[in-house]
């Protein structure tokens, strides 16, 4: 087989080429080490000094190591002479290569096939050295990149931390300055709430009764008003309840007839009655249900005979349904009977052991009640408002009174009310629980109630001034009614509990019948009074400013009725001042310095002058330091102590 001969363009040495496929590739002359592109030449003679040709770039082998880094290809113009070196354009970001004219150049033949131009590599060069250099370059590049990343992160952290620290400092400084400028509302509110809560707990501790909460077992679903009564005590002969019923006049008579109608027993036979009112469709009167607890056991046969009806046992508890009366009767035991609408028989039977859930307000306040109180009224103001708008269960004359009362129990502020009254032999006790709506808090409601109680006597006075009773007795009582309500207001204490405000009032036992009679007569006269008239005849009271003594001391010498049953010191002085038509002031700091408080109890009854009443308060044990100072210039009397009076240059009054 003939051999191809390729001549070196530099030394013209003939080089033998055994494989024609190697044409167009680079080769290295073994004589002069010139690297050139191999081109076809004339066949060499047998005697020609020829040497074996070796490729400048070895044939591809299976790659076991990383590839050798090469030089990027560059363009050679068509008209460039063979052997003319071309300076490749530098790559972006790289320094241009410096042309060396003495470096070996590649020959070019116009007939040759285009070949890739790559960097010259010596035959037999160490490929691992190039890979090592590439690794080193990559390592240094990665090191610089990692250093840049770390530096960037550190810079970002420093800048971000500084910005955060500045913003945080500014926010805290702004909050600190704002806290210094605004009052401590939250702390004051919490302190006030705790104070009112303590007042409510003290009022509960002074309650005349310690009974269990009112249980609504056997009342049907949908009960929106409850009236708890203790008829046997209220209808007991010669009792305080009997006196109050007489003072209520026709209303007391109506109450007695209604109890007999609903309970089917005489009031004297009933220990406790719980009356429930269920609103019906608009325009129709509400339905009623009642749970009666008798004073003594009754015979079951007598109860069945008295109630009548057919026995039904499909509700889980025996119930008697009287279709003629449209009523049902449930005999829980020989002392407890439930009576209600026939359609509510199943509800009543299922609530023998556990009461039916009613409204949220009623269910929340019932645990706070006391079943031993003589009268307890539980209702929702919005339900009363609905009665006034649609069902009109009240008579025409009573409707005006109910509307006026509803202004006190504003449905927008008060969700539910539980008002209990107890008429003791020594004191009259009133406890009003007012559940606030979600629009305001307990403390806010307590403030609103305090304001309403304070304004109530003046509102009643403005109404009484327009009345003109024609009978002397009612005229006197009506004229004194605003003063009665003022005493009630001054004797009331405001407290709060969990989701309710509490108004507790303790007065002498005589206050209950007087308030009942005054309220009845004022209401009765209001039905005959035109409050829209421009001119009204003034009401003449027993004592007017025109005929009152000018001197404070002379007013304190007027005779008044006083009956205190553990009345606080401040309430007793307020009552005496109100009855004598003078102002007064109690120096709390002076009392505190001597170990006294405004809540010290007072219990006595007398019909004497106001001075005698004040002396009776001073004569109680361990009150030797108390003294009275008449301040005519201020038209009031001052209650202080002897040390403070001496220090301030005041002259204590010397009792005869």
Long-range contacts of 87-92 (CB under 8 A, 24+ apart): none
Sign of CA dihedral 442, 422, 206, 605: positive
198 within domain boundaries: no
Note whether 497 and 568 are same-domain residues: no
pLDDT beyond 70 at 359:
yes
pLDDT for residue 541: 42
| Domain hosting residue 577, numbered range | 545-647
Domain end (from 465, 496, 526): 526
Domain end (from 75, 103, 125): 125
Note whether 246 and 381 are same-domain residues: yes
612 within domain boundaries: yes
pLDDT for residue 94: 47
**Regarding predicted confidence, which is higher, 35 or 584?**
584
Count Cβ atoms below 10 Å from residue 106 Cβ, excluding itself.
Answer: 18
pLDDT for residue 392: 56
pLDDT beyond 80 at 396:
no
Domain end (from 125, 141, 156): 125
Local structure of 428: helix, strand or coil: strand
- 41-96 pLDDT, tens digit per residue, is 655 444 445 455 555 555 454 444 444 444 445 555 555 554 445 555 454 444 44
β-sheet with 51-52: strand ranges across: 4-7, 14-17, 51-52
Listed range (300-304, 523-527, 537-541) with the worst mean pLDDT: 537-541
Which of left, alpha, beta for 238 (phi over 0: left; psi -120 to 50: alpha)?
left
538 within domain boundaries: no
Complete DSSP assignment for 291-350 = EEEESS---HHHHHHHH--EEE-TTSS-EEEETTTTEEEEE-SSSEEEEEEGGGHHHHHH
324 within domain boundaries: no
What is the mean pLDDT of the segment spanning 611-637? 92
656 within domain boundaries: no
Note whether 514 and 559 are same-domain residues: no
CATH code of the domain covering residue 635: 3.55.50.30
Res. 17 pLDDT band, cuts 50 70 90? confident
pLDDT beyond 80 at 556:
yes
537 within domain boundaries: no
How far CA 68 is from CA of 34, 64, 117, 123, in Å, comes to 22, 12, 15, 14
Complete DSSP assignment for 159-190 = HHHHHHHHHHHHHHHHHHHHHHHS--HHHHHH
Note whether 510 and 557 are same-domain residues: no
- 197-210 pLDDT, tens digit per residue, is 887 888 778 889 99
**Regarding predicted confidence, which is higher, 242 or 189?**
242
* Residue given tokens 């010669």 in the structure block: 238
pLDDT for residue 477: 87
- 423-480 pLDDT, tens digit per residue, is 998 899 999 999 999 888 888 899 899 889 988 888 888 888 888 888 878 888 888 8
365 within domain boundaries: yes
How far is it, in rounded angstroms, from Cα 462 to Cα 522? 12
Note whether 498 and 551 are same-domain residues: no
Note whether 496 and 582 are same-domain residues: no
Mean residue pLDDT across the chain: 80
pLDDT beyond 80 at 519:
yes
352 within domain boundaries: yes
Note whether 630 and 589 are same-domain residues: yes
How far is it, in rounded angstroms, from Cα 493 to Cα 396? 34
Q: What share of the chain is helix, strand, coil (3-state, %, to 5)?
A: 40, 20, 40
Total domains in the fold of the chain: 3
């Amino acid at each position: 087989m003939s051999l191809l001969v390729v001549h070196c363009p530099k030394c013209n040495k003939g080089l033998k080429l055994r494989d024609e496929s190697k044409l167009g590739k680079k080769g290295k002359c073994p004589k002069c080490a010139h690297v050139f592109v191999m081109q076809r030449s004339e066949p060499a003679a047998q005697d020609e000094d020829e040497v074996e040709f070796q490729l400048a770039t070895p044939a591809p082998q299976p790659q076991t190591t990383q590839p050798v880094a090469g030089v990027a290809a560059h363009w050679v113009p068509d008209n460039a002479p063979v052997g003319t070196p071309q300076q490749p354009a530098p790559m972006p970001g790289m320094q241009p290569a410096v042309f060396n004219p003495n470096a070996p150049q590649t020959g070019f033949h116009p007939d040759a096939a285009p070949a890739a131009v790559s960097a010259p590599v010596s035959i037999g060069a160490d490929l691992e050295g190039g890979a090592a250099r590439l690794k080193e370059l990559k390592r240094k590049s990665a090191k610089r990149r990692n250093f840049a990343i770390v530096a960037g992160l550190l810079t970002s952290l420093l800048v971000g931390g500084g910005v955060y620290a500045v913003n945080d400092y500014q926010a805290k400084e702004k909050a600190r300055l704002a806290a210094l400028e605004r009052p401590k509302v939250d702390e004051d509110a919490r302190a006030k709430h705790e104070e009112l809560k303590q007042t409510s707990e003290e009022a509960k501790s002074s309650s005349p009764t310690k009974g269990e909460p009112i249980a609504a077992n056997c009342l049907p679903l949908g009960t929106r008003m409850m009236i708890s009564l203790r008829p046997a005590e209220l209808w007991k002969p010669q009792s305080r309840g009997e006196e109050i019923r007489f003072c209520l006049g026709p209303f007391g008579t109506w109450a007695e007839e209604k109890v007999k109608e609903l309970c089917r027993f005489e009031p004297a036979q009933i220990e406790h009655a719980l009356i429930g009112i269920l609103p019906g469709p608009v325009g129709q009167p509400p339905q009623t249900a009642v749970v009666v607890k008798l004073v003594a056991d009754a015979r079951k046969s007598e109860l069945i005979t008295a109630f009548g009806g057919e026995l039904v046992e499909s509700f889980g508890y025996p119930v008697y349904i009287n279709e003629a009366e449209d009523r049902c009767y449930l005999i829980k035991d020989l002392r407890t009977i439930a009576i209600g609408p026939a359609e509510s028989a199943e509800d009543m039977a299922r609530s023998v052991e556990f009461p039916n859930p009613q409204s949220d307000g009623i269910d929340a306040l019932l645990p706070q009640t006391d079943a031993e109180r003589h009268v307890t009224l539980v209702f929702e103001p919005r339900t009363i408002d609905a009665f006034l708008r649609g069902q009109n269960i009240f008579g025409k004359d009573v409707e005006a009174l109910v509307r006026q009362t509803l202004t006190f129990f504003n449905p927008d502020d008060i969700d539910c009310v539980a008002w209990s009254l107890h008429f003791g032999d020594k004191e009259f006790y009133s406890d009003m629980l007012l559940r606030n709506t979600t629009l305001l808090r307990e403390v806010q409601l307590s403030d609103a109630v305090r304001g309403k109680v304070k304004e109530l006597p003046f509102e009643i006075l403005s109404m009484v001034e327009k009345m003109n009773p024609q009978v002397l007795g009612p005229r006197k009582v009506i004229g004194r009614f605003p003063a009665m309500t003022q005493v009630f207001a001054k004797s009331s204490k405001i407290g709060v509990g969990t989701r309710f405000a509490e108004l507790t009032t303790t007065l002498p036992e005589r206050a209950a019948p007087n308030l009942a009679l005054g309220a009845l007569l004022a209401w009765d006269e209001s039905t005959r009074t035109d409050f829209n008239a421009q001119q009204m005849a003034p009401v003449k009271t027993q004592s007017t400013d025109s005929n009152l003594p000018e001197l404070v001391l002379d007013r304190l010498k007027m005779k008044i009725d006083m009956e205190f049953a553990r009345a606080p010191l401040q309430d007793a002085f307020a009552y005496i001042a109100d009855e004598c038509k003078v102002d007064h002031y109690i120096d709390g700091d002076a009392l505190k310095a001597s170990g006294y408080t405004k809540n010290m109890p007072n219990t006595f009854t007398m019909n004497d002058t106001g001075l005698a009443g004040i002396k009776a308060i001073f004569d109680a044990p361990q009150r030797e330091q108390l003294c009275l100072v008449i301040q005519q210039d201020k038209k009031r009397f001052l209650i202080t102590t002897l040390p403070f009076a001496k220090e301030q240059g005041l002259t204590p009054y010397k009792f005869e």
